[in-house]
Amino acid sequence: MPHKKCPPIIVFDVNETLLDITTLEPLFERVFSDRQVFREWFAQLVLYSQTMTLSGLYTPFGDLGVGALRMVAEIHQVNITDPDIAELKERMSKMPAHPDVEPALTRLRKAGFRLVTLTNSASGVSPTPLEKAGLSQLFERTFSVESVKKFKPAPETYRLVADELAVETSDLCLVACHLWDTIGAQAAGCRGALVMRPHNTTLPASGVPRPDFIASDLAVLADQIIGS
């Protein structure tokens, strides 16, 4: 597919796109005796974050994560303890970067692109997850949806980045491994770039915006963007 020219500012989703959330799986293996329950938990977390926004409500993403863990545990009739909750929070704060992330970000910066992040997670005290993963120095700014109290893919979240950087949404390209995120960004006027991490792909249905860039990893995506 022919690629459109990428805008000058690239906005990166954080969880799963940059940081490897599969490091949470051992918790689910221990508690549920099935690490695949991790995917059920993550789906519930995304579902209810979007439900809160559609309902005009807001609860910090971390609190929803804890609540979703308790919900899934009740569904599976498993007991969740305070140490389990503490382990979830600890693991979420120390997720490592995927191996392809730092080289791709470095190449994009050298090619002249401005790099920022936009996450559903609340901003926290230093050291942040990005700092712990060794990535923070590669980004000009980091944005959290907490300032608009709406979760992605609400259009206000992408407009937040444009407003803070004093640009138009058309100057932004959102990179994520979640199609719901690229759909939201494109609907808000941004370009969309999809990294097809495991368990993520496109949705072949009428009316669904196809990402402007699609790649198997960030290295390939960087090639596409730089060459556009």
Q: Enumerate the CATH 3.40.50.1000 domain ranges in the chain, comma separated.
A: 9-20+95-226
User: Where are any strands of DSSP class E within the chain?
Assistant: 9-12, 114-119, 141-144, 172-176, 191-195, 213-215
DSSP for residue 5: P
Q: Which CATH architecture has domain 9-20+95-226?
A: 3-Layer(aba) Sandwich (3.40)
Confidence of residue 158 (pLDDT cuts 50, 70, 90): very high
What's the confidence (pLDDT) of residue 227?
Answer: 94
In the three-class reduction of DSSP (H, G, I as helix; E, B as strand; rest coil), residue 224 is classed as: helix
User: Average pLDDT for residues 144-148, to the nearest whole number?
Assistant: 96
As given in the structure block, the two tokens for residue 98 are 């995927």
Cβ neighbours of residue 92 closer than 8 Å, sequence gap 6 or more: 24, 62, 65, 129
User: Average pLDDT for residues 162-186, to the nearest whole number?
Assistant: 98
Q: Give me the helix-helix angle, 82-93 and 61-75, nearest 10°.
A: 130
User: Average pLDDT for residues 183-196, to the nearest whole number?
Assistant: 98
Average pLDDT, the chain: 96
Helix then strand count (H, E) for the chain reads 9, 6
User: Homologous superfamily of 21-93 in CATH?
Assistant: Putative phosphatase; domain 2 (1.10.150.240)
Q: Are 188 and 118 in contact (CB under 8 A)?
A: no
User: Average pLDDT for residues 6-28, to the nearest whole number?
Assistant: 97
pLDDT-above-90 percentage for the chain = 94
Distance CA 97, CA 19 (A): 4
User: Average pLDDT for residues 8-15, to the nearest whole number?
Assistant: 97
3-state helix, strand, coil in the chain (%, to 5): 50, 15, 40
User: Average pLDDT for residues 164-189, to the nearest whole number?
Assistant: 98
Distance CA 13, CA 10 (A): 10
**Tens of pLDDT along 21-33?**
999 999 999 999 9
Regarding pTM above 0.85, the answer is: yes
As given in the structure block, the two tokens for residue 97 are 């970067």
What's the confidence (pLDDT) of residue 124?
Answer: 77
Helix/strand/coil (H/E/C) assignment for every residue in 114-138: EEEEEECCCCCCCCCHHHHCCCHHH
What's the confidence (pLDDT) of residue 126?
Answer: 79
Does the pLDDT value for residue 80 go beyond 60? yes
**Tens of pLDDT along 94-136?**
999 999 999 999 999 999 999 999 999 988 777 899 999 999 9
Q: Enumerate the CATH 1.10.150.240 domain ranges in the chain, comma separated.
A: 21-93
What's the confidence (pLDDT) of residue 3?
Answer: 55
